[in-house]
Amino acid sequence: MQDNVKSHITQFIKTAAANAGFSFCGIAKAEQLPDEARKLERWLNQGKHGKMGYMENYFDKRIDPTQLMPGAKSVISLLYNYFPEQTLSSSLKIAKYAYGEDYHDVIKEKLRLLVTALQQEVGDFEARIFVDSAPVLEKAWAQKSGLGWQGKNTNLINPKLGSFYFLAEIICDLPLHYDHPIKDYCGTCTACVDACPTDALVEPYQIDASKCISYLTIELKDALIPEQFHGKMENWIFGCDICQDVCPWNRFAKQHQEPKFLPTNDLKNVAANDWKEVTAEIFNQVFKHSAIKRTKWSGWERNITTAKN
């Protein structure tokens, strides 16, 4: 492909991504990630993924997108803002990303439209879209394409926006112009490590997911949350934002402009009442289109019971 054509397509992708509402778009060459492979293998061997057994599956595909999509040449990484205007009024807290509709559905639809627009511009090509639901090292690819750095809380931090955004990818067989990583600007700050009430951030840049409140309230499917964490949950009942809330870079976070990420009136009402009226029936009704449905009614009850202990 001629360089001027490659430049045109690359710029078209970034413009179309911005028009679709994505805050940032970066592109990296689809290739194996040897450094990330070693880190992931060590993390898994140390058991820091807890009971997320699926993290052990498809190792080769996680570290090499050409194994996930044969013929892949580029990984397009995108960031979509979800920072709300205000937090929900409740003594029991849910992560900000779960205020609106399930982000998997919302972002995937935007990715489909983006791929369609690109196909209309350049003709047919092979592509796969991903939103936190396949063996893709999202943060590694976002970092490789210059969208930010993985901070000491292990989240991707963008110097202009902070970290309150969803990550998404398009892996395709188009050769494009590639972006470059930026430097790490965490400096000497350890605010996130110091603030974690369960000591999940065992050291800067290292997370023991089995101790993370997000893991305990969502990924852990046991009937009970281990007693060692009782009294340390700080009223979080779905996910946790502590390590992001204290991050100085999130002073740059701006309110999102996505109507589908706004909390419904039903959600605001039950939250304002500290979730006391949430029966199984109301749970299924209020969270029908929410990421919170992942925890199911049994997990929701467990989380509330633990938070109140």
Over residues 250-296, the pLDDT tens digits come to 999 999 999 999 999 999 999 999 998 899 999 999 999 999 999 99
Q: How confident is the model at residue 44 (pLDDT cuts 50, 70, 90)?
A: very high
Helix, strand and coil percent figures for the chain, each rounded to 5: 45, 15, 45
Q: Which of 192, 186, 276 is nearest to 240 (CA)?
A: 192
Q: Tell me the three-class secondary structure of 224-256, residue by residue.
A: CCCHHHCCCCCCEEECCCHHHHCCHHHHHCCCC
86 neighbors 145 (Cβ within 8 angstroms)? no
Torsion angles phi and psi, residue 183, rounded to 5: -80, 165
17 neighbors 79 (Cβ within 8 angstroms)? no
**C-alpha span between 236 and 299 (Å, rounded):** 13
What is the model's pLDDT at position 264?
92
Q: Which of 306, 309, 289, 297 is nearest to 99 (CA)?
A: 289
Over residues 71-85, the pLDDT tens digits come to 999 999 999 999 999
Average pLDDT over residues 171-183: 97
Q: Which of 241, 252, 232 is nearest to 161 (CA)?
A: 252
Q: Calculate what percentage of the chain has a pLDDT beyond 70.
A: 100
Q: How confident is the model at residue 133 (pLDDT cuts 50, 70, 90)?
A: confident
DSSP letter for each residue of 7-44: HHHHHHHHHHHHHTT-SEEEEEE----HHHHHHHHHHH
Cα–Cα–Cα angle for 171, 177, 182, rounded to 5 degrees: 90
Domain residues of the chain, as ranges?
1-309
Number of Cβ atoms within 10 Å of the Cβ of 16 = 18
- Residue positions annotated with a catalytic role: 132
- pLDDT at 1 > cutoff 80: no
What is the model's pLDDT at position 255?
97
- pLDDT at 30 > cutoff 80: yes
Number of Cβ atoms within 10 Å of the Cβ of 90 = 16
Indicate the length of the chain as a whole number.
Answer: 309
- pLDDT at 63 > cutoff 80: yes
Over residues 209-250, the pLDDT tens digits come to 999 999 999 999 999 999 999 999 999 999 999 999 999 999
135 neighbors 68 (Cβ within 8 angstroms)? yes
**C-alpha span between 21 and 257 (Å, rounded):** 8
Residue 19 CB-half CA count within 13 A? 11
Torsion angles phi and psi, residue 237, rounded to 5: -115, -10
CA distances from 99 to 39, 93, 234, 297 (A): 32, 11, 19, 17
